[in-house]
Amino acid sequence: MSESDLLCQMFEALRDDIDSVPFPQFTNLVIPPQPSRAQVDACRSRDARKENVMNPMHRNRGHL
């Protein structure tokens, strides 16, 4: 058996393996709705204000 025959057999086996796996059928969208940019920005600004109030050492962060 030549090397090319062996490679062809391996390629056919690989193709058969790939073809045997069923492709998923997506009947419903499974990705949850994403927040809008305005919602993300509002959360970030609210969290930043909360961090400044609750963490009095915030102004010294990164400085010794």
Q: Which residues contact 43 (CB under 8 A, 6 or more apart)?
A: 35
In a domain, 28, yes or no: no
Domain around 60:
34-64
As for how many domains the chain has, the answer is: 1
Q: Which residues contact 51 (CB under 8 A, 6 or more apart)?
A: 58
Of 23 and 11, which is predicted with more confidence?
Answer: 11
Q: Are 14 and 21 in contact (CB under 8 A)?
A: no
Residue 25, pLDDT above cutoff 90 = no
In a domain, 27, yes or no: no
- How far is 63 from 57, CA to CA, in rounded Å? 10
Tell me the whole-structure pTM to 2 decimals: 0.34
Reported as a pLDDT band with limits 50, 70 and 90, residue 12 is very high
Of 51 and 22, which is predicted with more confidence?
Answer: 22
